[in-house]
A and B are shown apart, each in its own frame.
Chain A
Amino acid sequence: MADASTVPARPADASTLIVTPALRVVGQPVSRHDARDKVAAATAYAADWAMPSMLHAAVLRSPHPSARIVKLDTERAAAMPGVAVVLTARDVPRNTLSTDVPGQTTTVGPLRATLHVLAEERVRHQGEPVALVAAETLEGARAAADAIEVEYEPGPGVFTPAEALAPGAPRVHDAGNLLAHWHVARGDVAAGFAGAAVVVDGEYETQFVDAAYLEPESGVAWIDGDGVITIRLSTQVIEHFRDVAEVLDVPQNRVRVIGAYLGGGFGGKEDVTVEVYLGLLALKTGRPVKMVWTRQESLLSRAKRHPYRMRYRTGALATGEIVAQQVELLADAGAYAYLSALVLLYSTVTATGPYRVPAAEVDARVAYTNNPPTSAMRGFGAMQTVFGYESQMERVARALGLDPVTVREVNALRRGDVLPVGQVMETHVALPELARRAWDGLGSPTSPRAPHIKVGRGLACNLQPYGRIVWLHDWSSAWVGFEMDGSLVVRSGVPDVGGGQASSLCQIAAEVLGVPLASVSVHIADSALTPLAGTTTASRQLYMSGNAVLKTARELRAQILSVAAPMLGADAGALALADGAVHAPGGRALPLPDVLRHCARAGVPRSHLAVYHAPAGEPVDLARGSGKVFPDYTFGAHAAEVEVDTETGAVRVLKYAGAHDVGRAINPQSVEGQIQGGAVQGLGYALMEEVILENGINLTTSFASYLIPSAADVPDVTPIVVESGEGLGPFNARGIGEPPIGPPAAAIANAIEDACGARITRLPLTPERVARALGLLV
């Protein structure tokens, strides 16, 4: 009989893959409950919500990347028919919004970051919000926003981090343009290079990209019958209810955020989007208000992924063993800090990749510019660096005549190895197996279909943290309870971005409590009615809330069995919960409803609430490389086969395989979906996506100019799921939300070089750049 109350200990020998215990629901490729609703179009996304006498809202945004506001007159706009209210900075109770660590409940020290909800005297990027309007119709709101009289006095701006850090550069903020600087050093780098058989230098550039979820930012706010300001929106962080309260200057318990199932997030809905505006407008008008951004508005104003300039110097022995690596990173924060300091920290920690590098120095800076702000996006700073360290790895392999898999096997981190920052690898690193399986996953080589077509293959590996930085003291909570008929309810404040977050919680609860998956209902993402679970970011939700549900379910199981034991005349420890019944040794069983009816008589609750606290730690002194930054990492390896048209520079991906060690796949189908979807987003980053800016002006504010991959642009991604049984999540799972987006750009760049000899060091790898590298263009 299946009994998931205990999970086998981690194997002593890390090279042995864990033996799957008998599980009924966890580990099965079950169809997700939300998928049924979604194919029937029964899911009410944030914009699919309407209230009686609802107003519609619009935001007036700055057309200038750097300007002073010399006149802001709303009188004419406010007098227009149907206009309910026009708000500017002076109407906002507290016009400062904290943007440092969303959902954080302990102090974050030097990472404080703020911005104005609505611009005061100055605007620092195109698209910065200046005023809000609510009106009876959307057309009316937009017309009124256009009628607001604003005079700007354009000022000087800086548009690259290098410009921003040059002496005498115009200051984006009074305190100067350097936002954060991290430095990590370990071992004797000079000695390492001196003893190296080969030293490879490379300089790489990555671009601005957009999360480009299909669902634009949207929500509806209203004041409920108890006077609580309620905001239902598309967000990865319902804990922003606290930020809304701070801006509105009301107690935190007077604001409620309900997170609708998202139409995609990818980090772009981690920071505040529409909720503060909606809260302000509902508070000022007392009426329901709806705000839906247009695609153009979303592409114009939402935070992007940071462009990086990366300089790498890598020294290796003739065996391929890396002995020293020096890395210099310079990132563009855009006009406001948001999460840039943290993104840069992720880059700093991961800059040398999933490899043993005995001597390493990483110097990382991020600067303010008058470009659009940059912040969280899937991969969170651990992505750009993959393009750097894996391009370098390929160059080392080519210089030494080693094959791509061998050079990675030689250097792969192992349990007990130390990252340059000082973090010891405490869990198994399956990198050699992943690299081999991804490479083999390409199958037999494709023959070029014409003489001018060259075919080549590339490999790239990565590591991606999952879970929050240990000194942020992360936690999640969950409530699990039985109804009288034996059906189960799970409550947890988890936003579901589409990765199956809620469904996985159901599987875990069903497994532990012995009920069919179909008997579980889950309520998620309501800051008033579900126990808070933290953000759906940082690949943390299965790890954190999965553990919270596991802990809660196990404790509830013990409660229920303590009631059943005397009823069955057996020890609680000998009982099993399965198929909606409690089973005793010898075949005796009681239907669960009978036991539940006995609970109140026995004074034992049928429900339970528990909090899971992640293992925490103290802040690391980066320069001294003193310890643990992240709970753990997920490792991956991707392999690509491409064809390059040597007459046009066009690149086509023919085959693609992505392998990740997920510890254990709670739902293998969802894991495959994360690998395939993440890889294709990464292929967009590699080959086509770029937010093009000209002196801070965004030239790509439509899906006609900001291109993301279509079905015809990409091949089937072969997902390879490796289960080492070594993660920190429930049933030893690891996070898999972010990791698959990391390797594609490097894998494709490496494959292009293999095909035609051209090494491209700047993303995206467009036909023009390939043609230039091939000497077809001058």
Chain B
Amino acid sequence: MIVSFVLNGRAREVDVLPSETFLEVLRDRLGIFDVKEGCDEGVCGACTVLFDGRPASSCLVLAPAVRGRRITTVRGLARGAGLHPLQEAFVKHGAVQCGFCTPGMLLTALAFLERHPAATRAEIRTALEGNLCRCTGYAKIVDAVEAYARGDTNGG
């Protein structure tokens, strides 16, 4: 079946199987490798993308369900040739080690801060609960998200 959706601002039409997950569509059909697969059961958050601005695990979304949706992956965050300020904040605060959780973490954090711009450190931690990181111990990730939320420019 053909499904149409908008991916990072561009209209896409893809021939999919009804049984396919959207993660499979992104990685295997479209070669969108900025979305990672960590567990394939909706626990780790590595495959998070934004569906109309709301984060969800793309491994739990069946391909037909994205019809007409506006999808954002990390590649959709860049501002021209530069990084998004939250990406800059991750770099500056040392929030990245292996980087495998980073795309999902960035998207979850951005979507959360849009709705809760004055979030506390504890609220940020709760918001990121569904995105597992095995390297950083989370502190520097929270530092980066907090700095961005405070409006520190150039990555806080």
Q: Which positions in A face B, CB cutoff 8 Å? A: 29, 31-32, 34-41, 43-45, 47-48, 50, 138, 212-216, 261-264, 266, 292, 294-295, 497-500, 669-670, 672-673, 676-681, 702-704, 708, 710-712, 714, 716-717
Chain A residues whose CB sits within 8 angstroms of the CB of B147 once the complex forms: none
B100:A215 contact, CB within 8 angstroms: yes
B137:A714 contact, CB within 8 angstroms: yes
Which residue in B75, B101, B141 is a CB contact (below 8 Å) of A214?
Answer: B101
Chain A residues whose CB sits within 8 angstroms of the CB of B43 once the complex forms: 702-704
Chain A residues whose CB sits within 8 angstroms of the CB of B110 once the complex forms: none
B91:A31 contact, CB within 8 angstroms: yes
Q: A676-B136, A708-B132 are in contact. Are A39 and B38 (CB under 8 A)?
A: no
Q: How far is the CB of A625 from chain B (nearest CB, A)?
A: 37
CA A44 to CA B75, docked complex, whole Å: 14
Q: How far is the CB of A695 from chain B (nearest CB, A)?
A: 25
Which residue in A263, A670, A703 is a CB contact (below 8 Å) of B36?
Answer: A263
Q: A40-B78, A41-B103, A214-B134 are in contact. Are A32 and B142 (CB under 8 A)?
A: no
- A–B Cβ pairs within 8 angstroms, 14 of them: A31-B94, A34-B96, A39-B88, A48-B33, A263-B99, A673-B136, A676-B138, A676-B139, A703-B39, A708-B134, A710-B131, A711-B129, A712-B126, A714-B138
Name the residue on A nearest B28 (C-beta).
A138
Contacts beyond the supplied A499-B97, A708-B134, A712-B128: 4 A-B pairs with Cβ under 8 Å: A295-B40, A673-B97, A673-B135, A711-B126
Which residue in A35, A45, A681, A711 is a CB contact (below 8 Å) of B91?
Answer: A35
Name the residue on A nearest B87 (C-beta).
A39
Closest 7 CB pairs of A and B: A498-B98, A38-B99, A41-B34, A263-B100, A680-B137, A676-B137, A48-B33
* Chain B residues within 8 Å of chain A by Cβ, number: 53
Chain B residues whose CB sits within 8 angstroms of the CB of A676 once the complex forms: 136-140
Q: A47-B37, A215-B38 are in contact. Are A32 and B73 (CB under 8 A)?
A: no
B53: interface (CB < 8 Å): no
A45:B100 contact, CB within 8 angstroms: yes
Within 8 A of A (CB), among B32-73: 33-34, 36-41, 43-44, 46, 73
Which of B28, B36, B46, B129 is the most central at the interface, judged by chain A CB atoms within 10 Å of its CB? B36
B130:A710 contact, CB within 8 angstroms: yes
A39:B39 contact, CB within 8 angstroms: no
A213:B96 contact, CB within 8 angstroms: no
Chain A residues whose CB sits within 8 angstroms of the CB of B87 once the complex forms: 39-40
CA A719 to CA B46, docked complex, whole Å: 26
Within 8 A of A (CB), among B88-143: 88, 90-92, 94-103, 106, 121, 124-126, 128-142
Q: How far is the CB of A45 from chain B (nearest CB, A)?
A: 7
CA A47 to CA B97, docked complex, whole Å: 18
B74: interface (CB < 8 Å): yes
A672:B46 contact, CB within 8 angstroms: no
A295:B39 contact, CB within 8 angstroms: yes
B80: interface (CB < 8 Å): no
Q: How far is the CB of A739 from chain B (nearest CB, A)?
A: 14
CA A676 to CA B34, docked complex, whole Å: 26
CA A292 to CA B38, docked complex, whole Å: 11
B98:A263 contact, CB within 8 angstroms: yes
A264:B98 contact, CB within 8 angstroms: yes
B83: interface (CB < 8 Å): yes
Q: How far is the CB of A491 from chain B (nearest CB, A)?
A: 22
Chain B residues whose CB sits within 8 angstroms of the CB of A47 once the complex forms: 33, 36-37
Which of A138, A676, A710, A717 is the most central at the interface, judged by chain B CB atoms within 10 Å of its CB? A710
Which of B38, B90, B100 is the most central at the interface, judged by chain A CB atoms within 10 Å of its CB? B100
B102:A41 contact, CB within 8 angstroms: yes
B9: interface (CB < 8 Å): no
B142:A716 contact, CB within 8 angstroms: yes
A212:B41 contact, CB within 8 angstroms: no
Chain B residues whose CB sits within 8 angstroms of the CB of A43 once the complex forms: 99
Chain B residues whose CB sits within 8 angstroms of the CB of A712 once the complex forms: 125-126, 128-129
A262:B37 contact, CB within 8 angstroms: no
Which residue in B33, B96, B140 is a CB contact (below 8 Å) of A38?
Answer: B96
B98:A261 contact, CB within 8 angstroms: yes
Name the residue on B nearest A36 (C-beta).
B91
Chain A residues whose CB sits within 8 angstroms of the CB of B73 once the complex forms: 41
Name the residue on A nearest B41 (C-beta).
A702
A214:B36 contact, CB within 8 angstroms: yes
Q: How far is the CB of A553 from chain B (nearest CB, A)?
A: 25
Chain A residues whose CB sits within 8 angstroms of the CB of B121 once the complex forms: 716
Q: A39-B102, A40-B74, A214-B133 are in contact. Are A669 and B94 (CB under 8 A)?
A: yes
B94:A214 contact, CB within 8 angstroms: no
Q: A48-B33, A214-B46, A679-B137 are in contact. Are A703 and B41 (CB under 8 A)?
A: yes
CA A711 to CA B126, docked complex, whole Å: 7
Chain B residues whose CB sits within 8 angstroms of the CB of A498 once the complex forms: 97-100, 135
Chain A residues whose CB sits within 8 angstroms of the CB of B74 once the complex forms: 39-41
A214:B96 contact, CB within 8 angstroms: no
Chain A residues whose CB sits within 8 angstroms of the CB of B102 once the complex forms: 38-39, 41
Chain B residues whose CB sits within 8 angstroms of the CB of A261 once the complex forms: 98-99
CA A34 to CA B95, docked complex, whole Å: 12
Which residue in B41, B92, B135 is a CB contact (below 8 Å) of A677?
Answer: B135
B94:A672 contact, CB within 8 angstroms: yes
Which residue in A50, A213, A714 is a CB contact (below 8 Å) of B98?
Answer: A213
Q: A39-B91, A677-B135, A703-B41 are in contact. Are A34 and B140 (CB under 8 A)?
A: no
CA A43 to CA B44, docked complex, whole Å: 19
Q: How far is the CB of B87 from chain A (nearest CB, A)?
A: 4
CA A262 to CA B130, docked complex, whole Å: 22
Q: A45-B100, A673-B136 are in contact. Are A711 and B38 (CB under 8 A)?
A: no
Chain A residues whose CB sits within 8 angstroms of the CB of B88 once the complex forms: 39
Which residue in A29, A40, A41, A704 is a CB contact (below 8 Å) of B94?
Answer: A29
